[in-house]
Amino acid sequence: MDRMTETLYPAKALTDYLTRFEAVTILTHINPDADTLGTGLGIYNLLKTDRNKHVEIVNVSKDLPNYLDFLPGFGKIKKHADFEESMIISCDCGSAARLGVDINGRTVVNIDHHQSNEMYGELNVVVPDAASASQVAYRLFEQIMPINEEAAICFYAALFSDTRYFTTSSVNEEVFAVAKALVDLGAKPNEVAYNFTQRRSLASVRILQKALEHLHLHLDAKVATMFVTKQDILSAGARIPDMEGIVDYARSLATVEIGIFAMELGDGVRVSLRSKLADVSKLAQIFGGGGHSHAAGFTLKQCKIDETMDTILGKIKELGLLNET
Ligand SMILES: [Mn+2]
């Protein structure tokens, strides 16, 4: 192992933690995506091969994305953490608050790739250059144990998803090197792709239709906004996971630099931001959110959608986000 690998992926430190604890609680973030669940389940599938270890994987959200049910171990994801003295491994989560579990006083290994990560762990393995948290987990765990097929499928699916099927600016030689290694270990690219692209829920298409009805262009057509109201969500029969990816339609337009999608939920308005070049994580941070430079988001409590959009557009101008591009 070269020194670079040693600093980025502190395998020895991880081994020490794993030796000290008999039980491990794997935590994934609220409103889970394929990266947090794929990373968590990949690690779960690795750790559970040790018969002396107690391992649990937890996501506290009401709904899990059903299309991810092909990930080995998906049915084992629990809604509550039961272990009290376990070591915690958090996956793909920039802030402790997004875990939805009180981690005060606990030993946490934080595995992530968000630039905005708050480094809330005792051991923080945060690699912003990595395209997915699963890429970080793979590079870390491959040094200390054999990666089995179940884990390879999970890590590959997470990488496939967080790179938007290998199309984002984070895709480079290293991403393909990791993808190749995971395929060699048993991940089937066609099966993973099928699960992501050919198993849509009807509700996800119905809610997309509503969002497209509310597509508007602003600021010389450099910003596209889309939204869905509570009523839209109700009539489409959509759940939050059904709305993942809608924001990409806004960004995909030729003239558009920043795409914005807002959904009106019971407790406020949730906003997703996507950009081609501009750093939208700055914008998200102003509103108490976070994320990556080209994919970020935030939630505003008790807000109206039209006012929210006006405020966001104002901030885009104020920050000069479009001037950078
Ligand atoms: Mn991620």
Cα separation, 120 vs 143, in Å, equals: 24
7 burial (CB, 10 Å; 0-12 / 13-18 / 19+) is exposed
d(CA 2, CA 27): 30
Ligand 1 centre distance from Cα of residue 273 (Å):
15
CA 195 → CA 69, 93, 157, 299, distances in Å? 9, 24, 9, 29
Q: Where are the domains of the chain?
A: 3-197, 202-324
Distance from Cα 142 to the centre of ligand 1, integer Å: 19
* End-to-end alpha carbon distance in the chain: 39
pLDDT tens track, the chain, 325 positions? 555 666 899 999 999 999 999 999 999 999 999 999 999 999 999 999 999 999 999 999 998 998 999 999 999 999 999 999 999 999 999 999 999 999 999 999 999 999 889 999 999 999 999 999 999 999 999 999 999 999 999 999 999 999 999 999 999 999 999 999 999 999 999 999 999 999 999 999 999 999 999 999 999 999 999 999 999 999 999 999 999 999 999 999 999 999 999 999 988 999 999 999 999 999 999 999 988 899 999 999 988 898 899 999 999 999 999 986 6
- Between CA 55 and CA 149 the distance in angstroms is 18
| Exposure of 190 in the CB half-sphere (CA atoms within 13 A) | 0
Q: Which CATH fold topology does 3-197 show?
A: inorganic pyrophosphatase (n-terminal core) (3.90.1640)
Query: Using DSSP, how many helices (H) and how many strands (E) does the chain show?
Result: 12, 11
CB 170 within 8 A of CB 158: no
Cα(159) to ligand 1 centroid in Å equals 8
Under DSSP, the state recorded for 320 is T
Q: Does domain 202-324 have CATH number 3.10.310.30?
A: yes
Residue 133 alpha carbon to ligand 1 centre in Å: 5
Which helix or strand (DSSP H or E) is residue 247 part of? Answer: helix 246-251
As a whole number of Å, the CA-based R_g of the chain is 20
Question: Which phi and psi angles does 245 have, rounded to 5°?
Answer: 90, -10
113 Cα to the center of ligand 1, angstroms: 6
Separation between Cα atoms, residue 225 and residue 211, nearest integer Å: 9
Q: How far is the CA of 68 from the centre of ligand 1 (A)?
A: 15
Q: What is the CA(46)–ligand 1 centre distance, in A?
A: 19
24 with 47: CB under 8 angstroms? Answer: yes
Give the 3-state secondary structure of residue 213: helix
